[in-house]
A and B are shown apart, each in its own frame.
Chain A
Amino acid sequence: MRNTILITAKEFRSYFTSPIAYVVTAVFLALTGFFFAVSVTRPLADASMRDFVSISQFILWFIIPALTMRLFAEEQKLGTLEMLLTAPVRDIEVVLGKYLASLGVLLAMLLPTAYFVALLFWFGTPDTGPILSAYIGLVLMGAALLTLGLFASSLSSNQIIAFVVGAGIILVLLFADAVAGLPGADPPLFVQRLVAVIQYASIRTHLIDFSRGVIDTRDVIYYAVLTVVGLFLTVRSLETRRWR
């Protein structure tokens, strides 16, 4: 635990002493701000965060791997991974430490978007429930995606490779529901089931309920499982790095 906090603190500090955290936050706020402005100034627009959520997931698609790409790739490049892995620290502590730091940055990045909510309250009468659930969904999704980015970073000492692989994995999961259209009319039962499973694996479909104000346990479990799987894969990837 102490080691995890130590590594989290080091990584978190490193995000903010380099321009990474600022640039990523600025880009995220600029893009979401633009689309938020477009959506709420339409005629007959809702006073809701639904459009913000649906656009955020696409922006997170490249923001997340940008946040995580250096976490392990840089350690490998600098040779500091050799120091971390030969110190009396468990691999899981290293992984969790880095993960929590990136999660911290994600939260810090989402925090300023509260002024979108403030604007909604200033000019309209939005429902509080769906706004809260939307944020919960966004954070859960982000938390899950970060583990995938972290995993991608553990695979290579090259940050660009880490970024592209991370963004690739996330994109596939984001649009996994697109397979619904593939089998054509009246497919065999097992194909239907397979499509249902792949659809369930899609990141996007699980966010829809949250943005509507529904917190479904299935969706929460989905993100929790994805997070655990991502962390597990990262730990294994570090272990196999030793065996290579």
Chain B
Amino acid sequence: MIEAKGLTKHYGNFIAIEDVTFKAEKGEILGLLGPNGAGKTTTMRILTGYIPATSGDAKVGGYDILTQSLEARRHLGYLPETVPLYTDMTVREYLGFAGKLHGLTNAKVAKRSGQVIDTCRLGEYRDTIIGKLSKGFRQRVGIAQAIIHEPDVLILDEPTIGIDPRQVVETRNLIKELGGEHTVILSTHILPEVSMVCGRVIIINEGRVVAMDRPENLSDRLGGASRIVMDVRGPDREIVQTLSKVEGVKTVNSEDLGGRQRYTVDFRPNKDLREDLARLVVNRGWGLLALQPQGFSLEEIFLKLTTKEEI
């Protein structure tokens, strides 16, 4: 449904995004994750045809966003970062305008307005002037506007920002419901949101895609065997020293659990040190009580990918 190939955008000398390539299949919910200023909004603006890429191309529903722009835009529902609201209209007038702008007939607009007002739980406010709505409701009106014409592809830029926790949960559920029939791309800098809502996640940092996978695979692949937690009974200082000398080990932290210590051993990925460490401890005659590999949490992966420090 969505295809981005080598998208690059320069603003003068500033590189907003570079060589962003990905695909989203029908019914998929794809998360764009990255710190502020990573290039999420730029990527989305290019996908919607609001700004052109410096190089690379993007297709929506099989149509090129630049050369077959109108066709591509017909398949799109878009919630920009700043919710585009005419503050002097009522919710219903606004949704009517948005629907007709996307080519719905009058009859269809009336029907769909009612439906999206229900879906986004705006019933009480259907005849309220948008300028008088609170931030959370404005956000909902923004989502209603994006889905009124039942687009194949939904692009949502930070859909849960600035709304209260209960509404966040409702909005996430709404997005989950929308996936399946719509292809959804959403951007966020909230990590749990990604694992809750998205089937797949793209992590962007400084304009580049640094990882792209299912949330659970990401933590397997990047964290997989690179951290081992082991409980050992024995002389603490000696154990730390010995473990630290093993090739590939980066840090060893110990924690006293009373009569035994828990060691958290981080080492370079792509190497499984479980057997080496177990043998070492046993050969020294210390008591190996437990040994468990641990994946990094999504937070840690995110930090690892988006900061230059190594964890």
Interface residues of A (CB under 8 A from B): 3, 6, 10, 14, 17-18, 78-90, 242-243
- Chain B: which residue is nearest A86 at the CB level? B48
B87 near A88: Cβ-Cβ < 8 Å: no
Knowing A87-B102, A90-B70 are in contact, say whether A14-B88 is a contact too (CB < 8 A). Answer: yes
The reply on B82 being an interface residue by CB < 8 A is: yes
B73 near A86: Cβ-Cβ < 8 Å: yes
Contacts A82-B45, A86-B49, A86-B76 known; 12 new A-B pairs at CB < 8 A: A3-B101, A78-B82, A78-B84, A79-B84, A80-B84, A83-B84, A88-B73, A88-B74, A88-B101, A90-B70, A242-B51, A243-B52
Which residue, of B50, B70, B87, B98, has the highest number of chain A Cβ atoms within 10 A?
Answer: B50
The reply on B85 being an interface residue by CB < 8 A is: yes
Knowing A90-B70, A242-B52 are in contact, say whether A84-B101 is a contact too (CB < 8 A). Answer: yes
A82 near B88: Cβ-Cβ < 8 Å: no
Knowing A3-B101, A6-B100, A87-B102 are in contact, say whether A82-B73 is a contact too (CB < 8 A). Answer: no
For window 222-241 of B, CB contacts with A under 8 Å fall at none
Total A-B pairs, Cβ < 8 A? 65
- Chain B: which residue is nearest A3 at the CB level? B101
Shortest distance from the beta carbon of A129 to any chain B beta carbon, whole Å: 43
Knowing A83-B98, A242-B51, A243-B52 are in contact, say whether A78-B86 is a contact too (CB < 8 A). Answer: yes
A88 near B51: Cβ-Cβ < 8 Å: no
- Chain A: which residue is nearest B83 at the CB level? A79
For window 8-58 of B, CB contacts with A under 8 Å fall at 45, 48-52
Shortest distance from the beta carbon of A239 to any chain B beta carbon, whole Å: 10
A87 near B80: Cβ-Cβ < 8 Å: no
Shortest distance from the beta carbon of A7 to any chain B beta carbon, whole Å: 8
A102 to B100, CA, bound (A): 21
- Chain B: which residue is nearest A84 at the CB level? B101
B50 near A6: Cβ-Cβ < 8 Å: no
Residues in A with CB closer than 8 Å to B74 are 88
- Chain A: which residue is nearest B80 at the CB level? A82
A79 near B82: Cβ-Cβ < 8 Å: yes
A98 to B83, CA, bound (A): 21
Knowing A17-B88, A86-B48 are in contact, say whether A10-B97 is a contact too (CB < 8 A). Answer: yes
- The contact of B97 among A6, A81, A85, by CB within 8 Å, is A6
A78 to B49, CA, bound (A): 19
Which residue, of B48, B76, B82, B84, has the highest number of chain A Cβ atoms within 10 A?
Answer: B84
Residues in A with CB closer than 8 Å to B188 are none
A82 near B52: Cβ-Cβ < 8 Å: no
The reply on B103 being an interface residue by CB < 8 A is: yes
Shortest distance from the beta carbon of A105 to any chain B beta carbon, whole Å: 16
- The contact of A78 among B50, B71, B87, by CB within 8 Å, is B87
Residues in A with CB closer than 8 Å to B49 are 85-86
- Chain A: which residue is nearest B86 at the CB level? A80
The reply on B264 being an interface residue by CB < 8 A is: no
Residues in B with CB closer than 8 Å to A82 are 45, 50, 78, 80, 82, 84
Residues in B with CB closer than 8 Å to A14 are 86, 88
Shortest distance from the beta carbon of B148 to any chain A beta carbon, whole Å: 11
B103 near A85: Cβ-Cβ < 8 Å: no
Shortest distance from the beta carbon of B202 to any chain A beta carbon, whole Å: 21
- Per-residue A-contact encoding for B279-309, CB less than 8 Å = 1, 0 else: 0000000000000000000000000000000
A85 near B84: Cβ-Cβ < 8 Å: no
21 CB-based A-B contacts, threshold 8 Å? A3-B101, A6-B100, A10-B97, A14-B88, A79-B83, A79-B85, A80-B84, A80-B86, A81-B84, A82-B45, A83-B84, A86-B73, A86-B76, A86-B78, A87-B73, A87-B101, A88-B73, A88-B101, A88-B103, A90-B70, A243-B52
- Chain B: which residue is nearest A81 at the CB level? B84
The reply on B205 being an interface residue by CB < 8 A is: no
Shortest distance from the beta carbon of B2 to any chain A beta carbon, whole Å: 14
The reply on B171 being an interface residue by CB < 8 A is: no
- The contact of B78 among A83, A242, A243, by CB within 8 Å, is A83
Residues in B with CB closer than 8 Å to A242 are 50-52
The reply on B113 being an interface residue by CB < 8 A is: no
Residues in A with CB closer than 8 Å to B102 are 87-88
- Chain A: which residue is nearest B65 at the CB level? A86
Which residue, of A3, A80, A85, A88, has the highest number of chain B Cβ atoms within 10 A?
Answer: A88
- The contact of A86 among B50, B52, B88, B100, by CB within 8 Å, is B50
